[in-house]
Amino acid sequence: MHELLYNSPIGPLLITGSEAGIRSVRFHQGAAPDYPKGEAVYECIEEAVEQLTEYFCQLRHQFDLKMDLQGTTFQLSVWSMLQSIRWGQTLSYAQLADRIGATGAARAVGMANAQNPCLIILPCHRVIGSNGVLTGYSGGLLRKQWLLQHEQQVLQLNLFS
């Protein structure tokens, strides 16, 4: 396993990867991990840094990374479906449950989202309450709001182009 600390506009992200792909992208608090100088990181981590930079520069709307996710069958189905929520769109937890064929399992979808190991890349920030209210995000609601506004800015700029 390799790790790399990426400084994003909304705080440091710790990216973890294996030879098989990205394992996690999480907001990092505290001291930076101590890496031996000159240590190489897996190519998937370098690709994640490149794609995250493009995302924050509003040049990328969808991630295309090799993933190495660890979770239950249900969690993996929720995380996979997150990738189908397009840039600038939101879904409710109930709508996401319907999409994976688990009608009535909005709470279970919320729990799977809470365990999402790859924030931003698997865009759980695009899932909101049925009443349109922003709820739950392991990175904090201010970051969730920032990410949604970041995505809306591009939609507004491209409205008449």
Owner of token pair 């996690």: 24
| Domain 73-157 part of CATH 1.20.1420.20 | no
Distances in Å between the Cα of 49 and the Cα atoms of 65, 77, 109, 115, 132 are 11, 25, 28, 22, 31
Give me the residue spans of the domains in the chain. 2-56, 73-157
The catalytically annotated residue of 44, 57, 118, 124 is: 124
Q: Mean pLDDT per 10-residue run, the chain (161 residues)?
A: 92 94 92 59 92 95 96 97 93 95 93 96 94 84 93 60 47
**Residue 118 bears catalytic tag:** no
Amino acid 136: pLDDT: 81
pLDDT of the residue at 33: 61
